[in-house]
Amino acid sequence: MALALQQLINGLTLGAVYGLIAIGYTMVYGIIGMINFAHGDIYMVSAFIAISVFTLLATFGISSVPLSLLVVLLVAVLFTSVYGWTVERTAYRPLRGSTRLAPLISAIGMSIFLQNMVQLTQGARVKPIAPVLVGGVDLLTVDGFTVHLAYSQVLIIVVTVTLMAAFTWLITRTSFGRQQRSCEQDRTMTALLGINVDRTISLTFMLGAALAAVAGVMVTVYYGVVDFFIGFVAGIKAFTAAVLGGIGSLPGAMLGGLLIGLIEAFWAAYLSAEYKDVATFSILILVLMFRPSGLLGRPEVEKV
């Protein structure tokens, strides 16, 4: 019982990170119908930005945890949003009228470029930082096993729930959300109605990158180490989460992320940690076999 509760906490924490990244995938797919395969590497860049800013703040003697987190989040979101805008302008916009394969190859090329850029500028070694948010709460002890809820886990879950609520309101209740949903349905008609389609798509990429930035900062605080390859692994997991929940659905992306996090946590605890990824992708295959649109996705209707 105690081990199951501990793995539930660990799984929800990991799933929240996957969900934040997956929302970026699903927002971009919803508006232009393509997968941004450089999204995971934008998350990786944000983690390195967080490491650099944390180190810089420590150099200046700033030890306040709330102030440090706020500054790091603001800087990471700002710079990572610029990366998201750059990816859209260089890898997608020039190829928007071409076949689907061309932007896909371009996005993969951007992913490789970001990986190598960080490797060359930051080095290939793992970059650690001193613990930023330490401590936690011991919930219960059963047969010598103590269930521990770390403050960093509380931070990740609270931030994820808050951002999920904020983005749901943004998409469903604001003018920008209506413009985004209009672009998703018909970009040509949206442009004829006077909406700036290019600006809407660019803002969508920037919002997705901002969410990836938050995930990068949270992971840096939680694990305390980053390397240039974390974007590939997290990107594949987040993409799987988006497909599992239903690509194009924000609640589906978060649900998929939580499910993958829970599957990994419980599989690693009770079966074999080496095969947790096999379990994740096997369940994805089963879901796609019996529900191709994902758990919360809607079947795509072809326009004629």
Predicted local distance difference test score (pLDDT) of residue 302:
53
Predicted local distance difference test score (pLDDT) of residue 205:
92
- In the chain, what are the domain boundaries? 17-243
Is the separation of the CB atoms in 210 and 228 below 8 Å?
Answer: no
Q: Terminus-to-terminus CA distance in the chain, angstroms?
A: 55
Predicted local distance difference test score (pLDDT) of residue 49:
94
Average pLDDT in the 103-109 region?
87
Residue 284 clears pLDDT 60, i.e. is over it: yes
Is the separation of the CB atoms in 44 and 228 below 8 Å?
Answer: yes
Predicted local distance difference test score (pLDDT) of residue 154:
94
Buried b (16+ CB within 10 A) or exposed e, 98-128: eeeebbbebbeebbeebbeebeeebeeeebe
User: Which residues on neighbouring strands pair with residue 225, listed in sequence order?
Assistant: 128
Average pLDDT in the 203-214 region?
92
Greater model confidence, 16 or 35: 16
pTM above 0.85, yes or no: yes
Average pLDDT in the 27-35 region?
79
Q: How many CA atoms lie within 13 A of 11 on its CB side?
A: 22
Tokens of 123: 């080095």
Residue 41 clears pLDDT 80, i.e. is over it: yes
A 10 A CB-CB count for 233 gives 12
Greater model confidence, 119 or 31: 119
Predicted local distance difference test score (pLDDT) of residue 143:
77
pLDDT of 154-165, one tens digit each? Answer: 999 999 999 989
Average pLDDT in the 255-260 region?
92
